[in-house]
Amino acid sequence: MLRGVGVSPGVAFAPALVVRWAFPEIPERTISPAEFDTEVARLHQAVQAVVDQLAALRLRTLQRAGPEAAGIFDAQIMMVQDGDFLAGVESLIRKNLLSAESAYEFKALDLRNTWQNARQSFLRDRLADLNAIQLRMLLHLLGRSADDAWLGEVQEPVVLVAHELSPGLTVQLDRDHVAGLISEEGTRTSHAAILAHSLGIPAVMGVAGALDRIADGTSVLLDGQTGQILLEPTPDEMEAARLQAVRRHRLEVQLESIATEPATTPDGASIVLQGNVDLPEEIEVALRHGAEGVGLLRTEFLITGRTSLPSEDEQTDYYRRVSAAFAGHPVVIRTYDLGGDKFPAAFVAPHEPNPFLGWRSIRVCLDQPEIFRPQLRAILRAAVDRHIWLMLPMVISLDELAESKALLAEEAAALRSAGTRAADDVPVGVMIETPAAVILADEFARAAAFLSVGSNDLTQYTLAVDRSNARLASRFAPLHPAVVRQLSQVREAAARAGIPASVCGEMASDPVAVVLLLGLGYTRLSTAPPAIPLVKWVVRNLPVTAAREAAALAVRATTTDEVHEVLRHALGRHVDLRLVDPSSALPRPSVGATLRRS
């Protein structure tokens, strides 16, 4: 059995079709000064040709998956037309006497390396888009056919296995011929994953070593919800998967029926379910799934891949658009979580051996107020007649909170003096992401308007485990007793101060962890938008009294396994665990089956 990240639900069974592609070899060719204009013209002809290809894909996507999915190709068109990037290619042509394809490859390789080495999942998710448009450009400049020409040869149902799936490839897949997708790269928020979900193709991404372990023609059974993959499944495993698919279908019907219902437990406790929004296209997804506002509006996409910072007006317009979409509900804007791989290209950032322990987040903003002040002004301007809260990431001291609030007050005064319509103030909260912040939780609670636990980083910093390190994946345990007890401390500190506390990390999307969070007293959870219906279903089936009993046991537990079992037991008394816990879905291969396959 292999395991990855389930990004598009459904069970698929078919022979594997392994697809391997690579960037083409570019022949070494120099040009004479007389050929400058010809090569530059070839470059821009290729740009127009690729734009035309992407526009055709956009239209196809609009027809098959709707405007939200089609917007993915608007972003790709902007990327291929990026003026700064193309100016760099032209400069290489003129100054280094390179052919258009050689210059483009050189510039593209530099940008791909930057994005490839990024730890931030958002940047890695967009890498597939970058690779796709650059491959199209190089193939056009070389006069070769597109890399998806082989699609017409697929006539029987297959499970497509690749290192990486581009949005352009995914949207062309025929559901009758492609039963499922497996890729080594990609996450739930990658564009290929979003398209696979829209097209109804079961998909599992982030499957390390898939190309080495799955041969052409291998029978593959994959579960696009749990991320489990069985190779050469036995009849018993096939039957188990069939039953699981039936259960899932029943669950989906239930989830649809409660989309507009409140997130209220059977014994009357009300829970606020909000959405985490990384990209503009996720706004509609969050709304469709009934999000009561945004618990974490990440703003890094405004700067990623750009050569300059966004203007104050640009930020203001975006914040207004998001808050208008969630009228009547709060939108929590996290200030720039800059650091390591998340700097605009024009920003001179230091090279650091461990950027997650370096100059990042609030440290950058306070050290570089020319970045921070325009964002604060934009938030204040957008907050007029809107329900906008401001959240500071990676705060570890009261001084950082005080300095941030002082800057906010200064900008509010400046806006008033200038006669600019803006809010006088907004609620300022703190993200609890480090043990230091947990220890100071009582002090932060007295000085802040709200607390929000970033469970991903809190787990990482508590356990000293890099959450992006695949080798340490089994040690990255959000239900570790040390994390559980800190979650309890934060909630108690907020309660003593009489302010709200929420959780906006991955834990809020995990049904088993939701038992703990409800039991500890968290009444605000912010999740990835697609997870909202499932979390609401759990809430509506789980009495808060049962959650409290389980949480009390979990806080006293001494091992991660013990915590997990306590929570699973409590949840299993009220819902079918096979529907919500990946470890209870597809069966693990029996010893006999393993021996037969060997």
303 occurs within a structural domain: yes
**Residue at a domain's end among 96, 124, 141:** 141
302 occurs within a structural domain: yes
403 occurs within a structural domain: yes
Residues 60-105 pLDDT 10s: 777 766 666 677 777 788 888 888 889 989 998 988 888 999 998 8
Q: What is the pLDDT of residue 322?
A: 94
Whole-angstrom distance, CA of residue 189 vs CA of residue 72: 12
Residue the block writes with tokens 């997990």: 564
Residues 349-359 pLDDT 10s: 666 666 667 77
Q: What is the pLDDT of residue 586?
A: 41
527 occurs within a structural domain: yes
- Is residue 564 part of the annotated active site? The answer reads no
- Comparing 41-50, 240-249, 341-350, 558-567, the range with the smallest average pLDDT is 341-350
Whole-angstrom distance, CA of residue 584 vs CA of residue 367: 48
245 occurs within a structural domain: no
Flag whether pLDDT at 13 surpasses 80: yes
590 occurs within a structural domain: no
CATH of the domain at 33: 1.10.274.10
- Is residue 365 part of the annotated active site? The answer reads no
Whole-angstrom distance, CA of residue 271 vs CA of residue 511: 14
Whole-angstrom distance, CA of residue 502 vs CA of residue 393: 14
**What's the number of domains the chain is made of?**
2
Encoding tokens for residue 309? 């910072």
For the chain, the first-to-last Cα distance in angstroms comes to: 13
Neighbours of 444 (CB within 10 A): 27
**At 446, is the pLDDT very low, low, confident or very high (cuts 50, 70, 90)?**
very high
343 occurs within a structural domain: yes
**Residue at a domain's end among 119, 141, 163:** 141
**Both 552 and 418 in a single domain?**
yes
Flag whether pLDDT at 430 surpasses 70: yes
- The structure's pTM equals 0.70
Flag whether pLDDT at 570 surpasses 90: yes
CATH of the domain at 346: 3.20.20.60
Q: What is the pLDDT of residue 5?
A: 83
**Both 136 and 277 in a single domain?**
no
**Residue at a domain's end among 79, 107, 141:** 141
**Both 134 and 273 in a single domain?**
no
Q: Which of 537, 548, 373, 522 is nearest to 455 (CA)?
A: 522
Task: Report, as an integer, the average pLDDT of 179-200.
Answer: 79
Q: Are 289 and 535 in contact (CB under 8 A)?
A: no
421: DSSP letter: -
Flag whether pLDDT at 130 surpasses 70: yes
In the chain, how many H helices and how many E strands? 24, 16
Report the mean per-residue pLDDT for the chain.
84
Between 247 and 66, residue with greater pLDDT: 247
Whole-angstrom distance, CA of residue 443 vs CA of residue 487: 16
Neighbours of 72 (CB within 10 A): 25
For residue 16, the SS3 value is strand
The range of the structural domain enclosing residue 317 comes to 266-584
Q: What is the pLDDT of residue 431?
A: 96
Residues 36-53 pLDDT 10s: 889 999 999 999 998 988
Q: What is the pLDDT of residue 376?
A: 97
**At 595, is the pLDDT very low, low, confident or very high (cuts 50, 70, 90)?**
very low
∠137-141-147 over CA atoms, to 5°?
55
Between 89 and 597, residue with greater pLDDT: 89
3-state secondary structure 171-188: HCCCCCCEEEEEECCCCC
- Which residue in 197, 365, 480, 504 is the catalytic one? 504
Q: What is the pLDDT of residue 316?
A: 95
Between 464 and 483, residue with greater pLDDT: 483
Whole-angstrom distance, CA of residue 241 vs CA of residue 252: 16
∠540-544-550 over CA atoms, to 5°?
120
% of residues, the chain, pLDDT over 90: 42
3-state secondary structure 111-130: HHHHHHCCCCHHHHHHHHHH
Q: What is the pLDDT of residue 291?
A: 93
Task: Report, as an integer, the average pLDDT of 163-188.
Answer: 80
**Both 137 and 270 in a single domain?**
no
- Rg of the chain, C-alpha, whole Å: 25
594 occurs within a structural domain: no
Task: Report, as an integer, the average pLDDT of 171-179.
Answer: 76
Task: Report, as an integer, the average pLDDT of 310-322.
Answer: 93
Whole-angstrom distance, CA of residue 441 vs CA of residue 382: 29
- Which residue in 191, 197, 289, 480 is the catalytic one? 191
